[in-house]
Amino acid sequence: MTFSVDRRKTMKLASAAAAAAIVPAPSWAQGTGLPSGNLKILVGYPPGGGTDVMARIIAEKLKERLGNTVLIENKPGASGTLAGALLRDGPADGSVIMYVASAGTAAQKVSKKVMLYDLEKDITPITQSGTLCTVYAVSSTIGVRTFAEYVEWLKKNRSRANFGTTAMGSSTHFFGVEIGQAIGIPLEPIAYKGAGPLIADVSAGHAAAACGGLTDFLTHHRADKMRIIAVSAHKRMLAAPDLPTIGELGYPKLSIESYYGFFASAKVAPAVIDAWNRELRAVLETPDMRQRMLTLGLEVKTTTPKEFFDIQSRYIAMFTRSMKAAGYEPD
Residue 25 to residue 204: CA distance in whole angstroms: 52
Q: Which of 254, 281, 304 finishes a domain?
A: 254
Q: Which of 232, 278, 313 is nearest to 217 (CA)?
A: 232
Average pLDDT over residues 32-58: 93
pLDDT at residue 139 is higher than 90: yes
Number of domain units in the chain: 2
Q: 217 and 206: one domain? A: yes
Residue 8 covered by a domain: no
Q: Which of 58-62, 232-236, 295-299 has the highest mean pLDDT?
A: 58-62
Q: Are 146 and 58 in contact (CB under 8 A)?
A: no
Amino acid at 60: E
Q: Which residues pair with 190 in a beta bridge?
A: 164
Q: Residue 127's beta-bridge partner residues?
A: 262
Q: By percentage, how much of the chain surpasses pLDDT 90?
A: 69
In this structure, are 297 and 217 located in the same domain?
A: no
141 shares its domain with 214? yes
In 3D space, the residue among 124, 117, 125 whose CA is nearest the CA of residue 86 turns out to be 117
Tell me the C-alpha distance between 45 and 103, whole Å: 11
**Residues 170-198: pLDDT tens digits?**
888 899 999 999 999 999 999 998 888 99
Kindly report the pTM of this predicted structure.
0.74
Q: Is residue 223 over pLDDT 50?
A: yes
Is residue 2 situated within a structural domain? no
- Is there a contact between 225 and 129 (Cβ–Cβ < 8 Å)? no
Partners of residue 125 on adjacent β-strands: 263
Say yes or no to pLDDT of 11 above 80.
no
Please count the residues of the chain. 331
Q: Any idea what DSSP says for residue 252?
A: G
